[in-house]
Structures are given as C-alpha cells and as structure tokens.
C-alpha cells in the first residue's frame, strides 16, 4: 500500500469471514482504516472481537445488506463520519447458485443471486462513487471481485454466471465513465478458492447434472494444487490500491486463477 499523509479508508463488503476478512486484515496490517459489512451477525461479532485489541479505532464492522440502498448509504455515512473519506471499495460479497440451468433455475434463486452479486455490487458502487465525487480531494478506486464465470459459460450455474458476467460489464462501464473524474475500476477474475464462505449458499443442495457439466468443461481443479491462496488475493488488492497502478489498470479484468482451467 502506498505511503501517504493519511491512511487509506477501505470498504470491503461481505467481509466478516473467508476471503473478505483476509483482505480486510491485510489492509489493517498495512495501516489502512477498514470498514466491513456483512449480513452474518455472528461472524461480525467474532471478527470485531478478534480485531478490537489489535486494531482499536481502525475498523468498523457493521451489519448491512449490499442489496439495500438505504443500508449502504447509511454505512458509507458512518465510514465518513469516523474516517473522513472513502478511498477504496472492494465489492467482495457474493453467493453461489445451485449450478442449475435456465430450464431448472427458480425465479426465487435467480433473484436472490443477482440481488447480491450484481445489484449489490451496483448499489455499493453507486454509493461509493457519490462519496468519492463529493469528498475533498475527490477520487477513489473500486475493485470488483469477479470470477472465471465472468468470462466462461460453464463455471457455475446460470444465475451465478450471469451475475459474474454482469460484474465485468459493471467494471468496464464504470471505468469508462469515471476515470476523468478521478475514480478507477478494475475486476480481479478469480479462479477456485478454498476456505471461503460462498459455499454457505450450497447448504441446501445443488444440481448434480450441473456439477457434471462444469467438471466436463472446467476439469482439473484440485484443492491444495490450483486453488488461489486468499492471502495472494489480498496482497493483489493492496497492489491495486496504489492510485497510479489503478489508473494504468483501469477497466482491466485481470485473470487471477493459477491458470485454471489451463489456457482459459
């Protein structure tokens, strides 16, 4: 993270556990002020307890739903009240579908997945951009955590795949519209991850036919061999927090997947 007269103020969504918490902890260790939101109250309490002694006054951990515009507006207001500004948004919050196709995916599941993964990313971007334009000096960065499913049709079920394709479109459009106003936007195209909370959404089962299709087209994945270390994702986000790097990489979709699937 670049040296500056004041620490970066970073918002990370869905960060009470898993990848989000690893990213948040890495920024805290680098001296940033960090705000996380999540809908899991137990994990928020656990994370607050974990950080309260080591990082007093350096973090905010608040219950907020990324798909709620009022809740995210209130959360950003709380961040600015404590830290003075917002420099970086990392859109991390996401849920999986059940690996179902257009013919089998329910409207309820479609709405839920898109509500978090793409509408949530849009709402958080919208609120962050308003703050970044209003603050003095204006400007900031947005990092969207995408997926192989952002560019491939068989890395998830329909709802998840559509949502992650949407994250790529959100990234490119935001990058084009706001660079001249001092705001950059980049997507990190993640491969397979271990030890995250996204699998929580699979607790009620998944479509075996869909899993078989994914294994056919996206085979070769093995935990402990080609999964992406969460710490590496966190350190890459810190790298992208450099303003000059963010400008150069504005609009980029960076594969960060240990070349899985090979050549993808």
Q: Which residues are catalytic?
A: 164
Task: Name, in order, each residue with C-beta under 8 angstroms of 222's C-beta and a sequence gap of 6 or more.
Answer: none
Neighbours of 146 (CB within 10 A): 29
SS (H, E, C) the chain: CCCCCCCCEEEEECCCCHHHHHHHHHHHHCCCEEEEEECCHHHHHHHHHHHHCCCCCCEEEEECCCCCHHHHHHHHHHHHHHHCCCCEEEECCCCCCCCCCCCCCCHHHHHHHHHHHHHHHHHHHHHHHHHHHHCCCCCEEEEEEEEHHHCCCCCCCHHHHHHHHHHHHHHHHHHHHHHHHCEEEEEEEECCECCCCHHHHHCCCCCHHHHHHHHHHCCCCCCCCCCECHHHHHHHHHHHCCHHHHHHCCCCEEEECCCCCCCC
């Amino acid at each position: 993270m670049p040296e500056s007269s004041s620490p970066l103020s970073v918002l990370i969504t869905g960060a009470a556990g898993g990848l989000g918490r690893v990213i948040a902890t890495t920024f805290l260790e680098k001296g940033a002020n960090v705000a996380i939101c999540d809908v899991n109250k137990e994990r928020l309490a656990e994370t607050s307890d974990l950080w309260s002694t080591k990082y007093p006054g350096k973090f905010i951990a608040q219950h907020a739903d990324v798909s709620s515009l009022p809740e995210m507006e209130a959360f950003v207001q709380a961040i600015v009240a404590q830290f003075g500004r917002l420099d970086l948004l990392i859109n991390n919050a996401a849920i999986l579908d059940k690996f179902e196709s257009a013919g089998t995916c329910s409207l309820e599941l479609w709405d839920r997945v898109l509500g978090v993964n793409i509408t949530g990313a849009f709402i958080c971007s919208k609120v962050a951009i308003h703050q970044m334009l209003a603050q003095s000096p204006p400007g900031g960065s947005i990092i969207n955590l995408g997926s192989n499913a952002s560019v491939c049709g068989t890395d998830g079920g329909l709802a998840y795949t559509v949502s992650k394709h949407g994250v790529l479109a959100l990234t490119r459009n935001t990058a084009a519209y706001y660079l001249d106003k001092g705001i950059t936007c980049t997507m990190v195209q993640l491969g397979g991850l271990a030890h995250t909370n996204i699998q929580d959404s699979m607790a009620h089962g998944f479509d075996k036919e869909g899993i078989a299709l994914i294994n056919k087209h996206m085979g070769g994945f093995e935990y402990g061999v080609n999964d992406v270390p969460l710490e590496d994702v966190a350190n890459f986000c810190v790298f992208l927090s450099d303003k000059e790097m963010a400008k150069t990489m504005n609009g980029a979709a960076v594969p960060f997947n240990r070349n899985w699937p090979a050549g993808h």
